[in-house]
Structures are given as structure tokens and as C-alpha cells.
Amino acid sequence: MSASKSSLAALTLGAIGVVYGDIGTSVLYALKEVFGSGHVPFTEENIYGILSIFFWTLTVIVSIKYVVLVLRADNHGEGGLVAMLALASQSVKDKPQLRRVLLLLGIFGTCLFYGDGVITPAISVLSAVEGLEVISPGFKRFVIPLTLVILFCLFAVQKRGTSGIGKFFGPITVVWFVTIAGLGVSHIIDQPRILWAISPHYALGFIWNNPGITFIILGAVVLCVTGGEALYADMGHFGKKPIRLAWFSIVMPALTLNYFGQGALLLDYPEAVKNPFYLMAPDWALLPLVGLATMATVIASQALISGAFSVTKQVIQLGYLPRLRIDHTSVKDTGQIYMPFVNWGLFVAIVLAVVMFKSSSNLAAAYGIAVCTDMLITTILTFYVIRYNWKYPLWLCIGATGFFFVVDFAFWASNLLKFFEGGWFPLAIGGAIFTLMVTWKDGRRLLNEKLRADSLDLSSFLEAVFVSPPARVEGTAVFLTADKGSVPNALLHNLKHNKVLHANNLFVTVKSHEVPWIGLDKRLQIESLGHDCWQVIINYGFKNDPDVPKALEQMRGRGCALDAMTTSYFLSRDTVVPTLGQGMAPWREKLFAQMHHNASGAADFLNLPNNSVVELGSKIEI
């Protein structure tokens, strides 16, 4: 019992560090942006109204929608938009048209995650370093260079893995939450009446009296819940209970106390609106607070970078991106990976964001639109999960998700007002990645159709070959093929040029499924083709790490024991040639051909031993 309690405590501490870093650092800029927008008249009544809106936004969107409802929609224990997408598409698999629409919607939401992954580190670290301006205006010229140096160091250490520094995430973030709660309490003591703003009638009163202003400022209010979707995305790492416990016991109270403390400060010193968070602190604490805030924002950024690696790996296995180089940074935790292309691609985009927007206030205009679109998509997908997977009555499904849809839509519509001020930036990033993903998916479909049309039936071909069999040589040949039952080009080349067949021949197709994990008991499907030839299908979930040699060890005892020293892996390395025809638009075919050319080798992705791989090339016109 004590062991389980200590495990829950450890998981809760980890969740505080990884899951809540982003939403925990929103206190640096959220309230500042609402009052700094110039839309809200600075009165005591409005301070109460805005604080009440903040509190109930946190309650409705995070506490009720994500913590209570969405966390229930787990896909074999996994969460996040990719897991939700897989769950929703499985729920409507008997409705192909609807399934296709949901897949496109979910993939677009996943693409927006990258836009969010660019804006979050930029605005978080920049807003933390801007605390130096509060200490002395002379520090202003150092803010952007120092931000870029911190971000570069963060991205440079990614290749070493997060296991070494990860154990400090939880404790540092707990210190952060305790500190922001303490800062809030120190000012609430001076103005205890500010706590009355918890009453929803202040929020409703502000909305009723200022409907136009409310709609405009929702785009800034949403900053207080950015990072809320991380609760669901990281469910597989920590579990529901630790995430819920961390939210209700530490994170929500700390955020509420800090926002209300900022409100209390503004009641006493309206001029503090230029940076209410840092002006809450006494002068002697400013420098340590800037240091702590910087550490907290780096941790928040780290969670998003790790998330980008994880999401990219899942999307590759679902077939929406070409293979990319993946380095495993931990021998114990298979989930800890490093992807050089994603890492430095994100860094370049973040540097561009910092240099273009120059301040956290300018970035706040770009922030929110990607987050709100993702929240809206999550709500839509949740409806299909609870309706078609959980089989709840229609009226209950509409009631449960309809309310959140209206709330999410209001925030989303408000953020559209910021489109030309910077909202276009994350949408442009998401749109570019969406184009790449859809082009890759369509290109792979066309390529497979072409291969299938030109291919020979494997069973018939083997029958013909063994009428007058070629010489057999010792060892095992593993032919990797995308399409079960088709003759691999590599086999044709091998017979044509080497005029031999191995003693054992495995025709292996690797399949990725729309579930996070597939256990070892369902890993292999084996069919004997006679003459010591086997058709093998290897099944993986989108979070499994493909390892073909390890999977094929299960052949032992089933008629074919593989010896690593005498096994060769034959791959077809196809060169795609774009042609005019009925395929995709010419520019998309050229883009696909380039992506196909630049994809990392299948050997690395499937963990094949380099000294046993034979690649045979061919040209294919699409």
C-alpha cells in the first residue's frame, strides 16, 4: 500500500513538471494582455469581472472539459489528439466518408500542434526574460539575445535526452507553483475582498454589460488555459489519477491565487498593469524570480519539444510523414527519443518567431488561434467517440459536447480577430505541415497502387519458380514488401542477377495500426507458402518501436529459426518519377518525389542490422 502511495506521489510530481509547465507559466502574460489590450476600461468592477472570467474559464475548460470528460476518452491508456483521432476513426469505420473527414480534421489539428510548439517556447521564455526590464529599463536590449541563447542551449541538449534533467522538472515546477501562490497570497491579504470575484455573477455581469468587449478579449483570456490540452496528451505517461490529483491539489489553487493576487495589486496600484506578475514581487526578489521563471518556461518548452518528437513518430507510423531519423536517448525508457530534423526545424521556426514579433505581447496575438482550433477539434472528435464508441444516447452526447463546443467556438472566433496581427503565423506553419502530410499520404497510396498493378502474385510466382527451382544457398532471406501477397522487386532482382534462392525465405510486411500499442501475442501473423517460404505480417501500434529482427525471433519453434549471422534483409529502394497524368497535381508529385528521396532508410527505421541489409533499386512512375 505504501509502495503504491509513493508511486502515486512520484507520478503526481512528474505530472506537475511535464504536464503543467505550460499552463503554469501563463500567469506571466495572460492578465497583462487582457488589461494591456486597451479594450477594457480600468475600473474596480472590471477587475472583478475579468478575474471571475479567468477563474471560470479555468474551471469550465480545464477542470470540467479536460480533467472530467476528455481524460475518460483514452485509447488503450493513451491520450492526445493522435490517440483521440485513432479512437474516433475506429468508432466510425463503417462510415468511410465520415471517417475520411474526421481523419483530415484530426491530422490538421495535429499539424497545428507544431504551430503551438513554435509559439509556446518563444512566448514563455521571452516573457520570463522580460522581467529584466522591470529590474532596469537598460536591460531591454539584452532581452532578445538572451532569449535566443537560452533557447539554443535548450535545443542543443536535446540529443543527450531528458532523463538526466527530467528528474528536476517536478521539484522546480513545484517550487514555481508554491512561489506564484505565495506572491498571490501576499497581495490578497492586503485586499481580501478580491476573493469575491470567484462568484460567477461578476463574470456574467461583465459579459452582460460588455458583450462586444468580452468577445474581443476572449482571445487574450484564452492565454490562461494554453497548455490545458497537455493534460490529455500526456495521459499515457502518468495516468489519469496523478494528473487529476496534481491539478486539483496544487496547480489550480496556485494559478487562482496568483491571478487574484495580480488583481489585488491592480486595485492598489493601477500603474502595475504594464507587468503585474513581476511587480507583485519585492525588489530584492526580482532577480531570483526572473531566474525561476526562466527555468519554469524552459521546462514548459521541454515538454512541448518532447511532445513534438513523440507526435511526429506516431504520425510517421500512421503513414502521414516519411521516415525520419530517430535516436533513442534512454536504454530504459523507449519513449525518450530525439529527432534531429524536428529539433532543429522547430528551433529555426522559434528563432524566426522571436525575431519577427520581438516581444511577448506581440507573440500573444499569434498565440491562441492554434490552441483554440485544437480544442475545438478535440471537442468534435470527443462527440464521435462517446456517441459511436461508448454508445451513449444522442441527446446526452449533444448535451455533453455541445456546451463545450459553444465555449470553444466563442474563444476560437475571438482569436480569428487576431489573424492579421500574428494569428496567421501558427496557421501558416500548421498549413504547410498539413500539405506535406496529405501529399505524403496520397503519394504513398498512388505508389502502392502502381506497385500493385505491376506486381505478380506471390503464390503463383513461387509455384512457377519451383517447377524448375534455382540453386538454394544456406541462410535466410527476409524480403520486406509493402503489399502482402505481391512478389517483391528485390526477389526478382536477386533471381535475375544472382540466380539463387536462400534455404529459407520470409516475405515480410510491416503494418501500423490505429491503436497505440500491439502486444507480442498479436505481433506476428504467419502463413506457410511451402518450399521453406513464409508470408509474415508484423503488426505495430503507432507508439510501438518497430524492430523487425526482434519480432522475427518469434519464428523460432514455428519451422524457421533465424540465425543472425546467416540472415540477409532485402529491401527495394524505389526512385519515384513524377509524370503528367491522373495522379496528383504536378507540384505535389514533385514534392512527394523529393520527400520520398529524402526519407531516411527503412533499415534504420525497422532496426535492421546494417551489415546484413541488401538494397536493390528501381524506378517507378506515378
- Residue-range domain boundaries for the chain: 2-422, 455-621
- Model pLDDT, residue 4: 62
Are 514 and 86 a contacting pair, CB within 8 Å? yes
Q: What tens digit of pLDDT does each residue of 348-369 get?
A: 999 999 999 988 888 888 888 8
% of the chain exceeding 90 in pLDDT: 40
Extended strands (E) in 465-602? 471-480, 500-513, 524-530, 533-541, 567-577
Q: What tens digit of pLDDT does each residue of 392-451 get?
A: 899 999 998 999 999 999 999 999 988 888 889 999 999 999 999 999 999 988 888 887
% of the chain exceeding 70 in pLDDT: 97
Mention every residue, 6+ apart, whose C-beta is less than 8 A from residue 73: 79, 84, 87, 382, 385, 386
Q: Which residues pair with 510 in a beta bridge?
A: 538
- pLDDT tier for residue 331 given thresholds of 50, 70 and 90: low
- 159 versus 258: the higher-pLDDT residue is 258
**Residues 8-20, mean pLDDT to the nearest whole number:** 86
Distance of alpha carbon 383 from alpha carbon 339, whole angstroms: 34
Are 228 and 66 a contacting pair, CB within 8 Å? yes
Q: Please count the other Cβ atoms lying within 10 Å of the Cβ belonging to residue 616.
A: 18
Nearest to 231 by CA among 447, 69, 104: 69
Mention every residue, 6+ apart, whose C-beta is less than 8 A from residue 332: 163
State whether the Cα torsion 401-402-405-410 is positive or negative: negative
- Model pLDDT, residue 1: 44
For Cα atoms 433, 437, 443, give the angle at the middle one, nearest 5 degrees: 140
pLDDT score of 140 more than 90: no
What's the burial of 30, exposed, middle or buried (CB within 10 Å: 0-12/13-18/19+)? Answer: buried
Name which of 41-45, 130-134, 183-187, 557-561 the model is least confident about.
557-561
Distance of alpha carbon 561 from alpha carbon 552, whole angstroms: 9
**Residues 119-132, mean pLDDT to the nearest whole number:** 89
Most confident of 147-156, 173-182, 390-399, 584-593: 173-182
Pairing of strands 524-530, 500-513: unpaired
- Model pLDDT, residue 6: 63
Q: What tens digit of pLDDT does each residue of 314-330 get?
A: 888 888 999 888 887 76
479 to each of 494, 571, 620, how far by Cα in Å? 10, 6, 19
pLDDT score of 3 more than 60: no
Distance of alpha carbon 390 from alpha carbon 394, whole angstroms: 11
| All three cell numbers of 155 | 535545443
**Residues 557-571, mean pLDDT to the nearest whole number:** 83
pLDDT score of 291 more than 90: yes
| All three cell numbers of 204 | 456574467
Name which of 107-111, 334-338, 416-420, 442-446 the model is least confident about.
334-338
338 to each of 101, 134, 334, 543, how far by Cα in Å? 31, 37, 11, 15
Most confident of 59-68, 101-110, 179-188, 218-227: 179-188
Cell 469550465 belongs to which residue?
60
Helices (H), 417-505: 424-454, 458-465, 489-497
Cell 530517430 belongs to which residue?
326
| All three cell numbers of 589 | 508529385
Distance of alpha carbon 552 from alpha carbon 506, whole angstroms: 10
Please, what is the average pLDDT of the chain?
A: 88
**What Rg, from alpha-carbon coordinates, does the chain have?**
27
- Model pLDDT, residue 494: 80
Helices (H), 321-423: 340-357, 360-366, 369-384, 394-416
- Model pLDDT, residue 52: 97
380 to each of 19, 375, 385, how far by Cα in Å? 23, 9, 9
Architecture per CATH, domain 2-422, reads as Up-down Bundle (1.20)
DSSP string, 227-274: TTTHHHHTHHHH-HHHHHHHIIIIIHHHHHHHHHHHHHHHHH-GGGGG
What's the burial of 260, exposed, middle or buried (CB within 10 Å: 0-12/13-18/19+)? Answer: buried
Q: Is 334 helix (H, G, I), strand (E, B) or coil?
A: coil
- 236 versus 377: the higher-pLDDT residue is 377
Extended strands (E) in 74-140? none
- Model pLDDT, residue 162: 61
What's the burial of 330, exposed, middle or buried (CB within 10 Å: 0-12/13-18/19+)? Answer: middle
Distance of alpha carbon 331 from alpha carbon 453, whole angstroms: 43
Distance of alpha carbon 298 from alpha carbon 292, whole angstroms: 10
